[in-house]
Amino acid sequence: MKTIYYNLFLIFLIISNHSNAQQYNDTIPKHETFTIQSTNLQELRTINVWTPLEYETNLDSLPVLYMPDGGIEEDFPHIANTLAELIKNKKIEPIILVGIENTQRRRDLTGITNVEKDKEIAPVVGGSENFRSFISDELFFEINKRYRTTNKKGIIGESLAGLFIIETFFMKPDLFDYYIAFDPSLWWNNKFLIKKASKNSNYLLATQKALWFGSSKEASKIIGKFANILKEKNFKNLNWEYSNERKEKHNTIYRATKEKAIIWTLNNVIKQ
C-alpha cells in the first residue's frame, strides 16, 4: 500500500511540474529583471525583483524575501501581488521580493538521495547544495549591491521548494531569519530530514528563527510527524507554526494559505 501511494505521489509530482502556477491569469507587477552568470551552478540565472511603492518614496532599507520558483511564469507574480496587498492594508511591513527563475528545478531543489524511486523524477537530482551556495555566495551579494536591504531575510516556497527550505533550515540555519514552506516534500530520501530532526536533540540556533510550514490533505501524515518532532524537541531560539490544511490539495495549498503564512512569519521576525 505504501508503494502504491508513493508511486502515485511521484506521478502527480511529475505531471504537475509546478504548472499550476501557470493556470492563473496573475497580473505581472512592475519589477526588475537581471541575470547572473553563476560560478556555482555553471550557468546563467535569471532573477526577478519586486519592490513595494514605499521603496520608491523614501530611502529606508528593507528586508528581503527570496523565493525559488520565482519566474514570471511561475510563482513570482502572485506572491508579489500578495505582498503588495498585504503592505497596502498594513498587515505586514514593506519588503523586497527576489524571485529565482528555474532552469532545472528538480536538480536545484533536491538533496542527494539513496532511493532509486526518487531519482525517477528527473535526469539529474541532488543539486541543492550547489543551489544554496549560489544563493549565499552570489545572489545575496548582488541583491545587497543593487538594492537598499537590511540584514533580515527569508525564503518561501512549495513542494520541492519547500523541501529545499526545510533542508536549508537544518543544514545552514543562519542563511535566513525566517522560513516558509508549503507542503514540503519531506518524503524525499526516505524521509531523511524527518529522521534528522528526530535524532538531533542538540540542534542549536545562534539567533532567533521563525519557521512556518503547512500541509495539504495528501501530505498531512508525513508533515504532521515533523511537527510532532519539533514540539517534542522544543529547540531553543525557534519560533514555529504548523498549519494542517486538510481541505487543501497539493496544488491549492500555496495560494490558499500564503497570506496567513506571510503575516504570521513576518510579524514574528521583522520587528525583532
Question: Could you give the domains of the chain?
Answer: 2-269 (3.40.50.1820)
151-179 pLDDT, tens digit per residue, is 999 999 999 999 999 999 999 999 999 99
Candidate ranges 93-107, 193-207, 229-243; pick with highest mean pLDDT: 93-107
What pLDDT, on the 0 to 100 scale, is given for residue 145?
98
Q: Has residue 16 got a pLDDT over 50?
A: no
For the chain, give the mean pLDDT. 91
What pLDDT, on the 0 to 100 scale, is given for residue 79?
98
Phi, psi for residue 244 in degrees, rounded to 5:
-90, 100
187-235 pLDDT, tens digit per residue, is 999 999 999 899 876 677 888 999 999 999 999 999 999 999 999 998 8
DSSP string, 239-265: EEEEEE-TT--TTTHHHHHHHHHHHHH
What pLDDT, on the 0 to 100 scale, is given for residue 202?
65
Q: Has residue 91 got a pLDDT over 80?
A: yes
Rounded-to-integer distance, Cα 243 and Cα 223, Å: 10
pTM, whole model, 2 decimals? 0.92
25-68 pLDDT, tens digit per residue, is 899 999 999 999 999 999 999 999 999 999 999 999 999 999 99
Question: Is the alpha carbon torsion for 56, 59, 60, 61 positive or negative?
Answer: positive
Coil, strand or helix: which one is 151?
Answer: strand
